[in-house]
């Protein structure tokens, strides 16, 4: 998403933005706190300790929290069945293809979101961690790369990543609703992921980026990358 934003931000402000590979939310926030980078995009808000360390977090967009697969024509699932998939109570797609889940690290924000949103998911994920055959992806990019490679894969991701990176993955309907920006906006798709811009208080370049993201042009770019803009 931010690689798409970068040239438009530069054209509007004259500020060049170097977008680094994903460090994960926790790693990126530590890098901001240590002054190694100016800003980070995180899917979680700050802890009291991080705020006390001089960090500021401003929500600028929301995207759909989706499930994706390498299957060409995936069937949908009920939200109440998702934990059963991760607990291996449901092991096959409706056409008999084995379901191959991918896990994220314990500190991963998407995993935390799933545990809050979907009943029984926290226990299900912890149970899945005991399986030696289940791969663990360290970053968002590792996650979707593995999903593209695995037959019958089933993983969570942000809609924005799938759209912006043009990933060769299919979106899985949940509770009969197609995951889309339109359905997130009209309230029929209920599962969402926030994005915060995190920076040290007073960082002028980061403040300029936040201002751009909240501008009409910034809103247009965010929508093109599968996000609903969040105004101040």
Question: What percent of the chain is modeled with pLDDT above 90?
Answer: 84
Mean pLDDT of 138-165: 95
* Across 49-53, 106-110, 137-141, least confident range: 106-110
Number of domains the chain contains: 2
What is the band of 139 on the pLDDT scale with cuts at 50, 70, 90? confident
Kindly state whether residues 6 and 52 are assigned to the same domain. yes
Confidence (pLDDT) at 232: 59
Is residue 42 scored above 80 in pLDDT?
yes
Query: What's the confidence (pLDDT) of residue 25?
Result: 74
Residue 125 structural domain: 64-185
Same domain for 68 and 58:
no
- E-assigned strand segments in 70-210: 100-101, 103-104, 136-137, 153-158, 170-171, 192-200
> pTM of this prediction?
0.91
CATH number, position 147: 3.40.190.10
8-12, 115-119, 190-194, 224-228: range with lowest mean pLDDT: 115-119
Same domain? For 175 and 215 the reply is no
Q: Are residues 89 and 146 in the same domain?
A: yes
The chain-wide mean pLDDT, for the chain, equals 94
Query: What whole-number percentage of the chain has pLDDT above 70?
Result: 100
Q: Are residues 75 and 171 in the same domain?
A: yes
Helix, strand or coil, per DSSP, at residue 86: helix
The whole-number pLDDT of residue 22 equals 77
Q: What is the pLDDT of residue 224?
A: 96
Is there a single domain that holds both residue 97 and residue 168?
Answer: yes
Pair (114, 165) in one structural domain: yes
Residues 92 and 9 reside in one and the same domain? no
* Same-domain pairing of 170 and 68: yes
Q: Contact 157/165 with Cβ under 8 angstroms?
A: no
* 155 secondary structure, DSSP code: E
pLDDT of residue 108: 84
Assess whether 177 and 71 both reside in one domain.
yes
Judgement on whether residues 19 and 92 belong to the same structural domain of the protein: no
Shared domain check, 81 and 167: yes
């Amino acid at each position: 998403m931010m690689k798409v934003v970068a040239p438009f931000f530069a054209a509007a402000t004259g500020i060049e933005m170097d977008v680094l590979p994903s460090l994960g939310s926790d790693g990126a926030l530590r890098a901001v706190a240590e002054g190694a980078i100016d800003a980070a995009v995180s899917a979680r808000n700050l802890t009291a300790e991080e705020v006390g360390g001089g960090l500021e977090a401003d929500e600028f967009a929301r995207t759909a929290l989706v499930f994706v697969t390498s299957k060409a024509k995936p069937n949908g699932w009920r939200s109440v069945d998702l934990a059963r998939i991760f607990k291996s109570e449901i092991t096959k797609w409706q056409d008999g293809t084995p379901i191959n889940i991918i896990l994220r690290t314990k500190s991963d924000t998407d995993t935390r979101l799933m545990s809050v949103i979907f009943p029984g998911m926290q226990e299900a994920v912890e149970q899945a961690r005991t399986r030696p055959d289940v791969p663990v992806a360290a970053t968002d990019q590792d996650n979707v790369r593995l999903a593209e490679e695995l037959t019958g894969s089933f993983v969570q991701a942000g809609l924005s990543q799938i759209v912006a990176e043009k990933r060769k993955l299919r979106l899985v309907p949940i509770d009969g609703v197609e995951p889309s920006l339109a359905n997130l906006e009209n309230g029929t798709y209920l599962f969402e992921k926030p994005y915060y811009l995190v920076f040290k208080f007073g960082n002028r370049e980061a403040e300029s980026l936040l201002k751009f993201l909240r501008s009409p042009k910034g809103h247009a770019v965010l929508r093109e990358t599968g996000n609903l803009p969040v105004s101040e």
